[in-house]
A and B are shown apart, each in its own frame.
Chain A
Amino acid sequence: MATYTLTDNQCYHCGTAITSTGYILDEKNFCCIGCQSVYQVLNSNNLCSYYSYNDSPGQTQHSESKHFEYLDESGIITRLIDYSDENITTVTFYIPAIHCSSCIWLLEHLHKLNAAVVNSRIDFLKKQVSITFKQQQFSLRKLVELLVSLGYEPLISLQDVVKDKQNTDNRDLIKKIAVAGFCMGNVMLLSFPEYFGLSSFDQQFKSLFGWLNLAFAIPVTFYCGRIFFSSAWAGLKHKIINLDAPLALIIAVLFLRSAFEIISSTGPGFTDTLTGLIFLLLMGRWVKQRTYHHLSFDRDYRSYFPVAVTVLKKEMEKPVAIEELSIGDRILIRNNEIIPADAILMRGEAYVDFSFVTGESAPLRKVLGEMLYAGGRQIGEAIELEVIKPVSQSYLTGLWNNETFKITDNKLQNFNDMIAKYFSLATFIIAFSAAGFWIYSSDSSKAWSSFTAVLIVACPCVLALSTPFTLSAVLSIFDKNRFYLKNTDVVEQLAKIDTIVFDKTGTITSADLIHLSFSGDLSAEEKILVASLARNSSHPLSREIVKWLDVNTFREVMNFTEIAGKGICGTVNGRQLKLGKSTFVSSGKLSQIDSAQVQLDINGIYKGCFKIKQQWRSGLNQLLQTLSQHADLHLLSGDNESERENLSHFFPVPEQMHFAQSPQNKLDYIKNLQSEGHKVMMLGDGLNDAGALKQSNLGVAVTDNINNFNPGCDAILDGSSMMSLSRFMTQATDAVKTIHMSLVISASYNLVGIYFAVQGILSPLTAAVLMPLSTITIIIFTSVSARYFAGKNRLNSPVEQVFKV
């Protein structure tokens, strides 16, 4: 068991640096009352082993109260749960907070906290927990509330919580690999006597071995190899020759020639090559298919929106799934809830944060009768709205349903499919000329054998393997450096990019780096008063203010009240303090809102305000300078022009900076660049970039917490790794270089094979040796060179994984 040393400045529960004192229990420090109460719950239930597996494994507690009334609605419950009978219900949640063994331990001991929980199992990599509970004693809502109270809030959405389909796809492929491996092993065994030469005594076995080999080849060709035929056929139907087309042809030729030789007893056939080939090809597919389960790249608006919203009907509040919202419904939106549909404000004071939708950083005040677009987040009191458009047709969701996305695939063709055409053509020319030569020399049996042998030996299997192995090596290198790609094709796209478009808010600025300043003067005593008041609130801004004030002594606060979304007030040392929005701090003169502000008022006298400015990510200047050598840089911002001057330092061409861009503007801008022949990479973060991310050749979502919502994209880049972007691009280019080099290696092997093949003297043994030899060379070459280039690009040493922020 790990021993805990009492460190003065770290929370025992969550490890946050403690800025204020006062929360001490059992000689342990806590940063806030939330952390302390979780500790108390665990301690009273004898669950303190939670703290022994890892130091401070908990999550920082947020005081935002969430409403889970909708989890009492049977319609919603049935859509969330996996299984239910009279006694028990099983449900699977995605919980982003799962990050260490303590999490596993605690969540698998839920039954100690509530006896109604029968069983809970964690899938660590997917960050999922399956919980079986007795629903008569414990409702789904209570279960979720229990998880939330422990700091493990499940991400409940109707879209991408649990993905079963991917799993079954993967299982199917592994099954095929197993069958192919089984048959390959047996065929190899039965082919050995043929390799070493059968004595006349053993000749009786020859035809038996042949027939057994053929029997093993049948399931491999028709069951395991079927995916190559169907993929080739699908390509041909669209008049495209993809890499699977020559592969399917080779499989067919190998099988037919083997079957012909074995049935007619004219030779041993190539069943060993055939089964080995398919086994290796399937391995290549498997390597390519391995993705990162914990990330979702195909999220749409449904995972951003809540599952349900409160509808007011005849003065009654009733939770309704958002798909079932209809025009004219009156909905209630509380503090920090998201407006799910375009609606008109009917009652209350709306102060809406549209930063995610438009990129505008300051919240907007809306008056009665005004229209509110879906996607905004209400800050302040509860408001009532009347829905005027169904969820699926709102301004925002309309971008996703944009028809253009369904028709055009704007991704660039990858190298393999491009080369497959020429490869097939060259192979056919050689095969036909060899056959033609032998027919001309009137040796028709040699014509047939040389024709088939050329097709067999010119197998592009090395090509089919070098790509997935190289790219997946790059993928895992990127993964270690916190750049997560959707699939291996994205690496190739990355190598071709010549234009990079940036979004401003959240992309080149960081949400975490807040720069505070205070307009006005505060005496040392006043600083203590403000800090004493602010440390009682868990609002992020209050915490920032306490940090900024940097005082060591605190006074007692009386009558502390916190009004969500407005501010805090209380009496300290006999003086009345108010801290919050200008509407809350009544004496505050309404100053212009240019960035988020917190007003301060002491004893009714306006003291000034704390200004919050976003900061550029560190190292941005250097990054943009390096990138500008490879690519054209553009900036699209939803914000106003106030930052234009600061940014002109980074983006020297004024025509490539655009402000006040709507989501549609952004999309059109990218389309325009593409029509000029540019290969565009878009970096964005919000919903407002979603259309542009999708339209671009490579959409990268930049995020400071990879578990947060991010729009649909090809890659997710952790904000802290943004500075490595240029190195990622070099690595991608190097990877493509590696693939080209492995093509040369494979071609030299093929030439050796073709030398035998055109003469019609390719023995099954040569084929069986040549193929695995070239494959092994390529696999070694690709993985070694990927790592070599990673070292060269200073990407090899993985950045230390930090799970907690």
Chain B
Amino acid sequence: MGILYFLIAVSILIALIFLAAFFWAMRNGQNDDLETPAIRILFEDDQPDNPKD
């Protein structure tokens, strides 16, 4: 059962990595605006010769 010591350490480490990733995303401003990117992704790419519609 000695392996448990190692596994617990690893599980906490992985959880810490996720926590750090979350902090990074926060600081990066990814959670500041949850609305606009959802709309932005639906825009079509620019067409160089867009005929009038």
Contacts and interface: CB of A to CB of B under 8 A. Distances in A.
Interface of A: 1, 3-4, 26, 43, 46, 48-49, 51-53, 101, 104-105, 108-109, 121-126, 167, 171, 174-175, 178-179, 182, 185-186, 189-190, 201-202, 204-205, 208, 212
A186 B53 CA distance: 58
A190 B16 CA distance: 16
Contacts of A186: 12, 15
A277 B52 CA distance: 60
B8 A212 contact: yes
B22 A178 contact: yes
Interface string B12-53: 100110110011001000011101100110111010011011
A104 B50 contact: no
Contacts of A178: 19, 22-23, 26
Given A46-B50, A179-B19, A205-B4, A104 B12 contact: no
A43 B52 contact: yes
29 contacts: A43-B52, A46-B49, A46-B50, A52-B53, A53-B43, A101-B42, A101-B43, A104-B36, A104-B40, A105-B43, A108-B40, A122-B36, A124-B35, A125-B33, A126-B33, A174-B31, A175-B23, A178-B19, A178-B26, A182-B15, A182-B18, A182-B19, A186-B15, A202-B1, A205-B1, A205-B4, A208-B5, A212-B8, A212-B12
B28 to A, nearest CB: 11
A185 B35 contact: no
Contacts of A3: 53
B4 to A, nearest CB: 7
Nearest to B44: A49
Contact of A125 (B5, B22, B35): B35
Nearest to B9: A212
A121 B29 CA distance: 13
A175 B40 CA distance: 27
B33 A4 contact: no
Contacts of A167: 32
Contact of A123 (B4, B36, B43): B36
Contacts of B40: 104, 108
A289 B16 CA distance: 27
A124 B36 contact: yes
A178 B19 CA distance: 7
Nearest to B48: A46
Contacts of B52: 26, 43, 48
Contacts of B32: 123, 167
Closest 10 CB pairs of A and B: A124-B36, A124-B35, A123-B33, A101-B39, A182-B19, A125-B35, A178-B22, A46-B50, A122-B36, A105-B43
Contact of A201 (B1, B12, B19, B49): B1
- Chain A contact residues: over half helix, strand or loop, or mixed? helix
Given A182-B18, A189-B11, 6 more contacts: A122-B36, A124-B39, A167-B32, A171-B26, A190-B8, A202-B1
A294 to B, nearest CB: 11
Contact of B26 (A109, A121, A175): A175
Nearest to B27: A171
Nearest to B34: A125
Interface size bucket, B side? 20 to 34
A273 B28 CA distance: 32
A27 to B, nearest CB: 10
Contacts, number: 70
Nearest to A215: B12
A765 B2 CA distance: 27
A751 to B, nearest CB: 37
A174 B27 CA distance: 11
A140 to B, nearest CB: 23
A175 B25 CA distance: 11
Given A178-B23, A186-B15, A4 B53 contact: yes
A1 B53 contact: yes
Contacts of B22: 178
Contacts of B8: 190, 208, 212
A175 B24 CA distance: 11
Contacts of A51: 53
Contacts of B16: 182
A123 to B, nearest CB: 5
A178 B46 CA distance: 39
Contacts of B1: 201-202, 204-205
A411 B27 CA distance: 36
Nearest to A123: B33
A350 B43 CA distance: 50
A217 B26 CA distance: 23
A40 to B, nearest CB: 12
Contact of B50 (A49, A101, A201): A49
Nearest to B42: A101
A267 B13 CA distance: 27
Contacts of A205: 1, 4
B27 to A, nearest CB: 8
B39 to A, nearest CB: 5
A279 B18 CA distance: 18
Contacts of A204: 1
A723 to B, nearest CB: 30
Contacts of A46: 49-50
A204 B15 CA distance: 24
Contacts of B15: 182, 185-186
A654 B25 CA distance: 62
B36 to A, nearest CB: 4
Nearest to A171: B26
A5 to B, nearest CB: 12
Contacts of A212: 8, 12
B31 to A, nearest CB: 7
Most buried by B among A46, A174, A189: A46
Nearest to A212: B8
Given A123-B36, A124-B35, A48 B53 contact: yes
Contacts of B50: 46, 48-49
Contacts of B49: 46
Contacts of B18: 182
Nearest to B52: A48
B35 to A, nearest CB: 5
Nearest to B4: A205
Contacts of A48: 50, 52-53
A53 B53 CA distance: 12
A311 B37 CA distance: 44
A109 B36 CA distance: 15
A195 to B, nearest CB: 17
B39 A104 contact: yes
A22 to B, nearest CB: 21
